[in-house]
Structure 1
Amino acid sequence: MRGPCQNSSCTFNATKTCVLGNPPDDCENRPILDEGNDKDKENEKDADDGAVDVEDEDDASRADAVHVGTPVLTEPDDGLRSLPASRTLGVAQVNAITESRPACLVGIVGLAGAGKTAALVSAYLLLSNGSFKGFSYADSDTLRAFEEITRASRTWQKGNPPEQITVHTTLSNDREAGFLHLRLRRDEDDRIFDMLLPDLPGEWSRLLIDRDDTERFAFLGASSVIWIMVDGRQFANAGRVAHARYRAKLLIERLANLLKETRPHLIVVPTWQDKVAFPQAEAEILLECGRSFGFEVDIAPIASFSWNDDIVPGEGVAELFNMTLTAGPPPPDFWPDTDPASNDRKLASYRRDV
């Protein structure tokens, strides 16, 4: 067995390749190590005399030869859990989840400032504190993403709130949606639900309304439920309500054209309910608009955060999630009754023909 290379200009110790082209086991610059060499023992001196222990040097050389290129640390136990490397999930990852197990894909649209991200932040904080009515946290593949969007909401002090709790949503890929994942356990029956929730910039919805730009929203065709987030303050403002109503109705029309024959359940979500209650008359207008395009529509007002002592932070958010998980068209008849048409089936007309 040979030790490390003694040629100072050679890189064999690091690269395992001789710069002179010599076979590694025959290179003269690598001394032969002989564990049974008695000459090493004759060279031993008393340590107090300051002599060099040759045997110790040989042992160190052998150790260096053995450990070159081997891992310093052993692999961690497979049973240990670590935070997922990903932040938001891409469309390919969402497809992999929906193909492997049942999952509720939610579409979330709304203009900037409507409170799309705030609703997701509120739900995550409520789950973190065990205050999510009817549900408890089971798992998430996007914890890093949730922590990133909730960072600002953890730093403000009561009585001195910031002007904006959540940061403006930006995506690394401006052409593809980024999804957050939550796995919830329902308290009443311990049933597990996987939810996939997009966190999208408000500019996407603005382009959908203004230019009918539908390219980024192709995933909505696979969604079970769509949330239409609207700023409830504008619907209670006499000077802004007409414009807010027009934009919301146009958004519903754009979704109907985008989805073609598909009609997922729509939930209109008025936000900022800690500031002002959503007018019932405006709710009826939006419900009627959605139904005119063939949608099943519900209203779910929320207050993601609250500066009102009469409304708790997160008011209505858990109810919105529960409505989302229970919404959907009624199941079709297993064996519907049909009236046979003449000459439609030969077996049915057999006796008449004979």
Structure 2
Amino acid sequence: MSFRKQITISLIIVIMAAGISYGIIYYENKNTRLASEEDAYNQGLTAFEKGDWNKAKELLSEVSKDSPYYQKAQSEIKEADNKITEEKINKAVKAATGALQEETEKAQQQATEAKQKAKAAEEAAGTLKEQTEKAKQEAAEAKQKAEEANQALQQEKSKEADLSSIVSQWKPLVGLVYCEFRYSDTFYKYLSKSGSGIAIKFANQSLSIITNKHVVTDASGYGAYACVFAFPDHFYIYKNDGNWEGIKVYSGLDGALVNVSNADWYLLNLTASFPKLCQNKPSEGDKVVILGYPAIGSSEGITVTQGIISGFEGNYFITDAKIDAGNSGGAAILVKDNCLLGLPTYGVIGGAESLGRILDFNVFVQK
């Protein structure tokens, strides 16, 4: 055998030995990697079963794409993501529930404090009752003196009072009326109305505020939930007690009487002298003065308009005096006798002018 042939054979043997060694090393490494990924997969499943979703996701992510466990690992990773998301949601719900519980306990504490304050107010009411009885007695004495003084004044009066003195006399009795209407179950406000009203006290009756029925009732006839009566220097709040006994309406007439059961000294003193009601029917052409709070009137106080008696219509007097929305329930004064004629009720608009209606005040006395 030649030397060259020996060299060639030796090279072939070396190359074959190297290939065999490489193959052995390759398969050993592959088996080692597969064993490692199988171990990672099994550890990931163990972590998943223990509920350690993040650890399971981390271990399962080590499985390579060419591993026989890859598809199963990806499925478990997706499930772990779902579990992680679910866990976050549960934590958020738990936090929100805790906050709600805290707010509920706070509200209960506030309710307890409110009850304690109500009890204290009830105890104070005993003392207030004595003061109220004393005030009533003083009011009765003041009323008697005022009536005597008023009678003497009327006897001395022989001529028509001027408009300025009429307004000054009647203005304190006429107030702005604002009413809110709410559903009895939800207390949601569905309507509000405004108008005017006059404070008065009939003999042997509690103090009242008289206004038009359409101011204190809605279209279905339900009474207002609460009303504020704002007089020039005072205000009174009426709140429905649920049985509607505080508001009396007159069938067939646009009139209503609001009973002031807890009148304070100001209102009692204001109505101590019963206002003079007109005893005689006015004539066409007699002057009238309207006092009230129309929506387009003064923004700083009462608005005064004047006119004459233009005609008659049942229990209503027709007048050309200006009566706009908001005047309803105010006072209509007959100038020649300086007496309360009735309640401005509504206006009827014609082509260019409008005529108002005044509800005869005597219907309240008769009914």
TM-score range (shorter-chain normalised) is under 0.3
TM-score (norm 2): 0.24
Structure that is richer in helix per residue:
2
TM-score (norm 1): 0.25
Q: Which protein has the larger Cα radius of gyration, Structure 1 or Structure 2?
A: 2
Higher relative contact order (CA 8 A, sep 6+): 1
